[in-house]
Amino acid sequence: MSGSGLGSWFPGPEDTPSEDAPPEGQWGPPPPAGRLRRVLFGLLAAAVLLAAVLGGTGWWLYRQLDGNIRTDDDTRKSLAQVEKERPKAAGPARNLLIMGSDYRPELGSARSDTTLLLHLSGDGRRALVVSVPRDLMVWIPDCARDGKSAADAGPEPDGGRAPGALRYEQFNWSFDIGGPACTIRTVERLTGVRIDHHMVLGFDGFTRLVDELGGVEVELPAAERDPNVGLDLPAGRSVLHGQDALAYVRARQYVGDGSDTNRMARQQEFMRKLAAKVRGGDVLLNPVRLYRVLDAATSAVTADAGLDSLDELYGLVERLRAVPEGNVSFVTVPRKAYPADPNRDVLAEPAAGALFTALRADRPYAPDSFVPPPIPPAP
């Protein structure tokens, strides 16, 4: 593991000043962004504080936490083999892909229910977090892992097949087919944006984190049951632990309107409550409990060699903290119902193209401000 920080990877405003940076408040709602930065910074700062409070023992604990973070060298090797097909890096802007993995030992498979693309502008003045819907229909490259390739993904809903090695499937299949490397390649092909860093957050770590925090309370207007994920909750207030919490944030088909949009809203609300518990005095003022919380959080992280230490993650958070609060935006890839299957989505143009063009050009994203050329069809 390295510990050099991210100064060279995520340039801040002091490195490349901009004369035309947008004023604060122009590019998105500050509350969600503020929560994201407070949670990340709070956890990492707490790790440093823990080491300082406990002295020499604290330094040993800090090293233990740092050692929990796994380095994903397999993805680096896989991407190196297809370097010629990947987009070129465009200037000093940096893009980080965050994937939540729902590995299922009983099935021997894993898909990524949550995928976020974090774009940090080259001048360090803007950040855009793009959520990629799991059910978005995309062209998946011919990735392979454990003998499985895109050609083995199963029949397509519309019966069509792209010539060559591409396969038209829902987005979260890419992780099952080829792990983080395949998801990165799929996102790069979809957006034309090069992914500089990536991070995988395991759901097992999420359940441990919720348990160490003593559970999270939710209040439901009506009972909810989703047999697909093992959710069975009564109406009213419930304190969710471990697996129940995971089922709650993963539930979709039998709750609300059954949409992925509804699930993402539930996840955001749950994370808001989780963040409040992390920041509470019961955790921050209790070194033993704080260590257990941080141990659960860091054990969930697998990252590339540029983000595989507390020092480097702390450097990333520092860069995010330097972004003016009003210049952090959260968006979802524009999509509409897939004609062949209304339970899935396809890109909504020209809005999706406008978003991807803004990312490639490192420009502020303002919906409907311009209409880009359409994305080239699959070969």
Domain boundaries, the chain: 30-207+304-360
β-bridge partners, 164: none
Mean pLDDT along residues 190-196: 96
pLDDT at residue 327, as a whole number: 87
- Residue where the block lists tokens 């089922």: 247
In this predicted structure, which of 66-70, 101-105, 304-308 has the lowest mean pLDDT? Answer: 101-105
Distance in angstroms (rounded) separating the CA atoms of residues 12 and 164 = 42
Handedness of CA 236, 237, 243, 248 (dihedral sign): positive
Percent of the chain whose pLDDT exceeds 70: 72
Of 58-72, 178-192, 317-331, where does the model show the most confidence? 178-192
Dmax over Cα atoms in the chain, in whole Å? Answer: 63
Give the distance from CA 263 to its chain's centroid: 15
Phi, then psi, of 120 in degrees rounded to 5: -110, 120
- Is the predicted pLDDT of residue 361 greater than 60, yes or no? yes
Tens-digit pLDDT profile for residues 335-358: 999 999 988 999 999 999 999 999
- Is the predicted pLDDT of residue 321 greater than 60, yes or no? yes
Angle between helices 260-279 and 30-68 (to 10 degrees): 70
pLDDT at residue 35, as a whole number: 47
- Cβ(174)–Cβ(198) under 8 Å? no
pLDDT at residue 299, as a whole number: 87
pLDDT at residue 165, as a whole number: 66
- The model's confidence at residue 89, banded by pLDDT at 50, 70 and 90, is confident
- Is the predicted pLDDT of residue 254 greater than 50, yes or no? yes
pLDDT at residue 113, as a whole number: 74
- When the pLDDT of each residue in the chain is averaged and rounded to a whole number, the result is 76
Among 1.10.3720.10, 3.30.420.590, 1.25.40.10, 3.40.50.300, name the CATH number for the domain at 30-207+304-360: 3.30.420.590
Phi, then psi, of 131 in degrees rounded to 5: -90, 130
Phi, then psi, of 286 in degrees rounded to 5: -120, 95
β-bridge partners, 136: 345
Mean pLDDT along residues 111-129: 88
Higher-confidence residue of 135 and 114: namely 135
- The model's confidence at residue 68, banded by pLDDT at 50, 70 and 90, is confident
Give the distance from CA 317 to its chain's centroid: 15
Task: Report the number of secondary-structure helices (H) and strands (E) in the chain.
Answer: 10, 17
- Is the predicted pLDDT of residue 269 greater than 70, yes or no? yes
Mean pLDDT along residues 46-74: 69
- Is the predicted pLDDT of residue 363 greater than 70, yes or no? yes
Higher-confidence residue of 71 and 5: namely 71
Higher-confidence residue of 203 and 184: namely 184
pLDDT at residue 377, as a whole number: 47
Higher-confidence residue of 219 and 90: namely 219
Strand residues in 147-290 grouped as ranges (E): 148-149, 167-170, 197-202, 216-220, 224-226, 231-233, 236-240
Mean pLDDT along residues 285-302: 84
- Is the predicted pLDDT of residue 17 greater than 50, yes or no? no
